[in-house]
Amino acid sequence: MTAPTPLLDLDDSDGLSAADFEGLLRSVAMGGAQIRSTASAIAEGTLDRLAGLRPRSIVLVAGSGGARHAARIATALLGNSVSCPLLLLDRTPSWVGPLDVVVVAGDDAGDPRLVESVDGGVRRGAEVVVAVPEEGPMRAAAAGRTMSLAPRVFTAPRHTMIRFLAVFAAVVAAIDNRDRHAEGPSFLDRIADAVDAEAISDGPTNEVFHNPAKSLATRMRDHRVVLCGSGALATALAEYASASLLASGHSAAGAELSDVIAAARSLFVPAGGTRDSVFHDPFFHDPEFDGALPVDPVRVFVFAMEAGRGEAIRRIDALADADLLVAAHDDTADTGVSEMEQLFILASRLDMASAYMQLTGGAR
């Protein structure tokens, strides 16, 4: 296990590399490679059977961890644009038949629920896509009867969400014939390029001032963290972010922005204070005069896509200490980046910040 080193400086690249026994930083940086390997499998014709298909529904059956979070994000991101219902269910339902597409995703090839879902979809005549390692019980259930998008690039299970999200997006694109006849790189290749660029910016040799992930980790350090978003998509990303931080040993709550605003009066009252106290802003706290804080202060991080940046800025004015998280590396909107690319960029940045939090000891 990677040992936390509370005194390690984020700008000490040699120290970070030496402390990273688990290879967390490299694992996160493989996000673009994971997406590109999925794009390669699709270019080889893996999903050709879905081209032009008009299914009654697309059913996502996801295992735990990254697959589950990716499915929640995918339904929020793609549910309103796909030409049929996009459903997230615990297992293949009994009503599935030849008119449906079932996508089964997870890291555990021995998960009985995933194996049964593949077998059930095949027996009922559905088109079944399997994004699970080809081994153990899953190999027997899926062999020769499904479309396989098994992993080709292996990373830590806590960093596979990006691959699963790419798989779900690719299935929807294949059914809707998106990008099939477009010139130039596929949309997955473009997303992989964006994720690679983010990984380079977030690398250990880049100093905090020029490193979005290190900057984020610095702002989270010595705070109780609340992550939230406005709407289903940003909230699903915030919930994934809270799980990523939890894996690093730093507890964080994930919620919808409206719920956080409603709780703000209690959230920012310091321990020992009352609901009638004035909001406590850590920026104005002076330890010499006010004494030490009994607990770390709360800081809220609000996820937003560029299209919702203005609304998010207006709404977070109700919070005493809040940061806005967008995909752009500065305060100017990058209108050339799609919402899907922004989502992948933010997920990659958060995973890298989580790794830095673990390597430097996380909370105080």
Q: Identify the weakest region by mean pLDDT among 110-124, 226-240, 334-348.
A: 334-348
List residues bridging with 62 in a β-sheet.
105
Query: Is the pLDDT score of 269 beyond 90?
Result: no
More confident residue, 77 or 283: 77
Token duo for residue 36: 């590109």
Average pLDDT over residues 282-304: 74
The predicted model scores a pTM of 0.89
List residues bridging with 226 in a β-sheet.
253, 300
Q: Within a 10 A sphere around the Cβ of 234, how many other Cβ atoms?
A: 25
Query: Is the pLDDT score of 299 beyond 80?
Result: yes
Average pLDDT over residues 32-56: 95
Average pLDDT over residues 139-159: 92
Q: Which pLDDT band holds residue 291 (cuts at 50, 70, 90)?
A: low
pLDDT value, residue 293: 56
Average pLDDT over residues 345-349: 97
Query: Is the pLDDT score of 57 beyond 60?
Result: yes
Give residue-wise pLDDT tens across range 65-85.
Answer: 999 999 999 999 999 989 899
Q: Which amino acid belongs to residue 154?
A: F
Average pLDDT over residues 184-189: 81
Average pLDDT over residues 206-229: 94
Token duo for residue 25: 């930083």
Query: Is the pLDDT score of 339 beyond 90?
Result: yes
pLDDT value, residue 331: 43
CA distance 334 to 290: 42
Query: Is the pLDDT score of 283 beyond 70?
Result: no
CA distances from 92 to 66, 87, 246 (A): 19, 11, 30
Average pLDDT over residues 329-344: 73
pLDDT value, residue 303: 96
Average pLDDT over residues 111-123: 96
Q: Identify the weakest region by mean pLDDT among 16-25, 274-283, 338-347.
A: 274-283
Q: Which pLDDT band holds residue 222 (cuts at 50, 70, 90)?
A: confident
Which of 203, 229, 199, 233 is closest to 340 using CA atoms?
Answer: 233
Residue tagged 């929807």 (tokens): 172
Give residue-wise pLDDT tens across range 26-40.
Answer: 999 999 999 999 999
Query: Which region, left, alpha or beta, applies to residue 345 given φ > 0 means left and ψ of -120 to 50 means alpha?
Result: alpha
